[in-house]
Amino acid sequence: MEQLTQQQLTKQFINGEWREGASKKTITSYNPYTGEELITIQAANEQDLDDAYAAAARAQKVWEQSPLVEKKQRFEQLVEVLLEKREHITNWLIDEAGSTKLKANAEFDSSVRMVKEAASFLTRITGEILPSYIPNKENRIYRNAKGVIGVIGPWNFPFLLAMRSIAPAIATGNGVVIKPASDTPVTSGLLFGEIFEAAGFPTGLVNVIVGRGSEIGDAFVKHPVPSLISFTGSTEVGRRIGELAGYHLKDVALELGGNNVMIVLKDANIARAARAAAFGSFMHQGQICMSLNRIIVEADVHDEFVDAFTAIVRSFKVGNPHEADTFIGPLINREQVERILADVQASVALGATVEVEGAVKDCVLPPIVLTNVTNDMPIAKEEAFGPVASIIKANDEAHALTIANDSPYGLTGSIFTENLHHGVELAKQIKTGMVHINDQSVNDEAHVPFGGEKDSGVGRFNGEWAIEKFTTVKWIGVQNGYREYPI
């Protein structure tokens, strides 16, 4: 299948047309490993944004009323397009987002599953008929699309986490306008214009606006057309979006930061726990909202765990993400490297011990393992979002639970224990949206609710929870026969 040219990917995708942005500013995408410029895009301004939302609103009205068989065909074609463009998409993920081959392929596969799950929504959107206290009346409950959804994509899992909102929004009858992350304008935005166009979806149903947050960020949220803003990213930006959306009485789906824990109990299988922790801490260089930030280990097995864990981490190949056996690739930009190193240095000054580290080169930061960490150190207090694992020694299980809950975040977590029932009971006491027993924290399945508590977000993605989020209900009361009124 023909791919878009590099020149086309420097344009906005509005109402089915690839056109130059009207802003005087530009956005440049760089390869974080080589530092080379990939593309430079003429940014969008508020007029472009107006045009995109208007196009989505027009197309949505037609799409929602389209025959079911036609919608089903479009989603089947979308899967075919994705599979044909697999190498094209994964190469962009490696070059633009710094994904290793392992991560890029896992992200692609999860995106296909997300589309297939969304396609099932076409026959899962149902209404109800409820009884009435009024004689000869019935209450009909209809479920309809919300209208137009504004999607703001992230840079870490750019394709999957944008698709997680786009495909369900379209499947439930909505139009979409996408604002990709500035670091990944292709993989969190422009690729969607390409694939939805190739799959034959109606003109204007999916639009992509590449613009600076300082120029169109607030307008994207405040615009009168969208009924819901879906955002995946930092808690700081999520708060701003929530404030703006709340003032304008819009719904939001916010998947924000995490400070996720793995609790290793003294009865755990240490070899398995160490291997899972290494994957959960360092997959995609730790740049995942679900990554393990703190590993809390009971004192009885602390030293054994540290030995097993550090041996695995030292074996990781670091470097070129295009090489199949590389597990640690580059961070998205040098600013992230400097931020993480500053937090590590500050934590060491407070008493943390460096067990594993390596030489930094450009955006490649080799894995760092710290022990003697406490919750008040910067590396444990804040979301690291990088290749750093902090190990915290707990006196006992109760102490471990206290440490785990001592955080404003509550996205996901993990517990290792040989007593599964006890693990579940302990998981119920951790204030997060998700917990995995004898597994690490990086899990996302298209049919299972995904989301967090506290500062980690609002709402749930995936499955029936996505249907609920992207639709609204209408009550239509039907009076059969004359109703007597006491007047």
Compute CA distances 297 → 121, 261, 265, whole Å: 42, 10, 6
What's phi and psi for 457, nearest 5 deg?
135, 180
Residue 320 CA to residue 283 CA, distance in Å, equals 15
Nearest to 431 by CA among 457, 407, 398: 407
Residue 239 CA to residue 236 CA, distance in Å, equals 5
The tokens of 274 are what?
């160490």
Three-state secondary structure of 31-86: CCCCCCEEEEEECCCHHHHHHHHHHHHHHHHHHHCCCHHHHHHHHHHHHHHHHHCH
Compute CA distances 52 → 27, 46, 70, 82, 205, whole Å: 19, 10, 24, 24, 9
Residue 2 designated active-site: no
What's phi and psi for 288, nearest 5 deg?
-135, 135
Active-site residue among 194, 255, 355, 383? 255
The dihedral through the CA atoms of 164, 165, 168, 170 has a sign that is negative
User: Where would I find the H helices in 283-383?
Assistant: 302-314, 334-349, 378-381
Residue 392 CA to residue 316 CA, distance in Å, equals 22
What's phi and psi for 355, nearest 5 deg?
-100, -35
Helices 302-314 & 270-282 angle (0-180, nearest 10): 50
| Residues whose CB is less than 8 angstroms from the CB of residue 233 and which lie 6 or more positions away in sequence, other chains included | 152, 154, 181, 256
Compute CA distances 58 → 64, 146, 175, whole Å: 11, 14, 9
The tokens of 432 are what?
């997060």
Catalytic residues: 255
